[in-house]
Structure 1
Amino acid sequence: MSEMSGTFTADAIGPPVPIPDVPGADAGAEGLPSRSVLSARQRILVESSAIADVALRTAVASVLSATVTPAVVANALRHVNEGSERSNLNFYAELAAAHDPAKSFPAPTELPKVTSRPASPLTEWVARGTVDNIAFASGFRAINPTMRQRWSALTANNIVHAQHWRHRDGPRPTLCVIHGFMGSS
């Protein structure tokens, strides 16, 4: 935000989403002011904000713990009889010792059918260009036979989702962000 005009300005290196520049000088090099210099109203506001912050964080942590705990316990109980993690690690250690990438990462046996659709106008505005949402069925099949059924049962992970960004001002370096570990459990 420009101090003189009160309007947002965008430049080539600025964020795509306007962020207001809120002036303030409460915290200096020595930190926040002591509570003793605050008025009674300011102390009540600071203390109630701190209490609300702790209460909210505790409530959110409790809800998340209560939500995740049954899944973690069920997952642990379900996998007790599927073989130890040690044997799974041994399988992959032997595979790595072979030094054969084709065995560790076999190429897909057939090309997937890729679908594409335009992303939302908000996404394209943030990207400052054209964005396509791409999806296709994953050809991944676990190499370890004892893990194959478990991994293929994670149906949410059987579809690959990606975005293809094309910026109006020309190509830029490519960034690939790949996730999936525990995001679906």
Structure 2
Amino acid sequence: MASPAQRVSRVANQAYRQSKLAITGSPWWQHLPEDFPEWQDEFELNGVAKLMVAGTKQIDNVIRTSLATMAGLLAIPTTLRPKQVAIDREQRAFYEEFARNGDADAFYQRPKRGVSMRRQKSNYLQYRPNIGHIDLLSFDSAFEAVNPALREHYSSYERNATAWAEHWQHDDKPRPTIIVIHGFTADPYWLNSRFLAMPWFYEQGYDVLMVTLPFHGKRQGKFSPFSGHGYFSHGFCHMNETVAHAIHDIRVFMDYLEDQGVPQMGVTGISLGGYTSALLACVEDRLAFCIPNVPVVSIIDIMLEWFPTGPIVRTGLKLAGMSITDARAAVAVQSALSYPTKLPRDRLMLIAGAGDRLAPPKHTHLLWEHWQRCRLHWFPGNHLMHLDQGRYLKAMRNFLQHIGFAVGASANASVETTSTAHK
């Protein structure tokens, strides 16, 4: 007999409703209504399903307010200070032109090959595989800001110039590898290992590479008040360069995997990592799949929807003489909505929570429409509580097997042994 959570998952996959078409033309940032942050998500749910989703919404609202307060007090004010706003106003057209052209390859150029990769043992392993080993990878990133006007300032963050990743490998041969991208502030490898059930995927026979985004973890400044602070605290243009830096470094790791003989690689990411993974699919045809999990799609609209960041951002935009459309245009170069994906529709999958209030379902719906209504799985939970997670893990496994991204006979192992962190 199906559990209440399973019943919600089945219903939610069928029950999302959005009565209005969000984007009616191109470019998307000019045609997405300015009141989009106020739009309510609609799920046709009844009984237990409705109560479960409503309950997870309330939990997310509390967490969202806490994160928004932290960002609103410590990061966004520096982004909206007059001097920074003046720089962004002056340089905005540089980035908008790339977005308007819709050619991701022009802005996200392929990095040079032959990067020297360092490997060392990690002393802080949450998961120790019975077969294989785990290395900590790093390299000196050669990334330079795309905009020459920002190169000197961006390069001044020295700790950010070293890229890091944790690599789980089987000993016998290079295996198909799942690249994992973490969310905002949520960079610890042990956290993403458990949250995204990477031990279970590893035991299915896959190798795993968990990357660290710029300004997170070991890449954050010595005096950074929290991991990820530098991502949003230096203005919109700086944010564009940070995303470009993330894509650059992930592609260097992909080059390394390719040089090691890895036969296939695909990407998944959560929240900000989902945002990044979707963008990576716009520039990398080497990916076998892309599975954003509870993804953000429009950074500006997320900022406007959260409290207290919303009022702070609206006030800052008003003082700068910028509309919401202007702000979206300023960062459109970093959104997957601005480009066609390099992957065919049948290699794309989206996972989202019906009660998510950090990255509301309407954002996933925007990407789903942009990706020609690819495979989509709603689960009955919020951004952090992935109720009935085993069900979407099975859906991911079946998806990977269907597209030929499968290894070994261990694929019959039971999902029910997965961590219960989200139950």
TM-score, with structure 2 as normaliser: 0.26
Residue aligned with 1:32, SS: helix
Q: Are residues 1:159 and 2:162 paired?
A: yes
1:145–1:128 distance in 2 versus 1, CA, 3 Å: same
Q: Which runs of 5+ in 1 are unaligned?
A: 1-22, 36-45
Structure-2 separation of matches of 1:93 and 1:28: 42
The Cα of 1:161 is off from its aligned counterpart by 0.7
The alpha-carbon distance between structure 1 residues 32 and 106, as it changes in their structure 2 partners (threshold 3 A), is closer
Q: What do the CA deviations read for 1:78-137 (whole angstroms, capped 9, x no partner)?
A: 52222231134347879x6xx889x944637x854x432213453332x84211101122
**Going by fraction, where is helix more abundant, 1 or 2?**
2
Residue 79 in structure 1 maps to residue 84 in structure 2: yes
Per-residue Cα deviation, 1:47-67 (whole angstroms, up to 9, x for no partner):
xxx5x983x544322221110
Moved more, 171-180 or 65-74: 171-180
The alignment partner of 2:96 has SS state of helix
CA contact (8 A) 1:137 1:160 kept: yes
Quick one: distance in 2 between partners of 1:84 and 1:168? 49
Q: Tell me whether 1:133 sits opposite 2:133 in the alignment.
A: no
Instruction: Quickly say closer, same or farther: Cα 1:28–1:160, change in 2 above 3 A.
Output: closer
Partner of 2:126: 122
Q: Which position in structure 2 is the counterpart of 1:172? A: 175
Q: How does 1:1-185 map to 2 (within 5 A)?
A: 32=48, 54=58, 56-70=59-73, 71-77=75-81, 78-82=83-87, 83-90=90-97, 104-105=109-110, 107=112, 111-112=115-116, 114-119=117-122, 120-125=124-129, 128-168=131-171, 170-177=173-180, 180=213, 184=228, 185=231
Look up the equivalent residue of 2:48 and give its one-letter code: L
Letter in 2 for 1:140: F
User: How many Å separate the matches in 1 of 2:148 and 2:4?
Assistant: 61
Q: Judge conservation of contact 1:91–1:144 (CA < 8 Å) in 2.
A: no
Contact 2:115 2:139 in 1 (8 A): no
**Could you tell me which amino acid in structure 1 is paired with residue 94 of structure 2?**
S
Report the CA distance between 1:151 and its aligned residue: 2.6
- Partner AA of 1:84 in structure 2: Q
Per the alignment, do residues 74 and 170 of structure 1 end up closer, same or farther by CA in structure 2, a change over 3 Å counting?
same
Partner of 1:19: none
SS at match of 1:107: coil
Which has more radius of gyration? Answer: 1
* Cα RMSD, aligned residues only: 4.5
2: CA distance, partners of 1:86 / 1:58 = 35
Distance 1:106 1:168 in 2: 28
User: Does the 8 Å CA contact 2:137/2:166 hold for their aligned counterparts?
Assistant: yes
With a CA cutoff of 8 Å and minimum separation of 6, indicate the structure with the bigger relative contact order: 2
Contact 1:104 / 1:143 at 8 angstroms: preserved in 2? no
Task: Point out where structure 2 has 5 or more consecutive residues left out of the alignment.
Answer: 8-45, 182-210, 217-227, 232-423
Using the TM superposition, give the Cα deviation of residue 154 of structure 1 relative to its aligned residue in structure 2, in angstroms: 4.1
TM-score (norm 1): 0.52
Q: How much has 1:76 moved relative to structure 2?
A: 2.7
Alpha-carbon distance change, 81 to 26 in structure 1, aligned in 2, over 3 angstroms: closer
Q: What is the rounded CA distance, in whole Å, between the counterparts of 1:174 and 1:107 in structure 2?
A: 22
Q: Retained in 1: the 8 A contact 2:134–2:166?
A: yes
| DSSP 3-state at the match of 1:60 | helix
Partner Cα distance (1:100, 1:53) in 2: 40
Q: Which amino acid aligns with 1:79?
A: Q
Flag the 1:85–1:134 CA change in 2: closer, same or farther, 3 A: same
Note if contact 1:123-1:131 (Cα within 8 Å) is conserved in structure 2: no
State whether residues 133 and 161 of structure 1, in contact with CA within 8 Å, keep that contact through their aligned partners in structure 2: yes
Deviation at 1:152, TM superposition (A): 1.9
Flag the 1:28–1:67 CA change in 2: closer, same or farther, 3 A: closer
* Bigger Cα displacement from structure 2, 156-165 vs 167-176: 167-176
Letter in structure 1 aligned against 2:126: L
- Judged with a 3 Å threshold, the aligned counterparts in structure 2 of structure 1 residues 25 and 155 are, in CA distance, closer, same or farther, namely same
Shift of the 152–159 alpha-carbon distance from structure 1 to 2, 3 Å rule, reads same
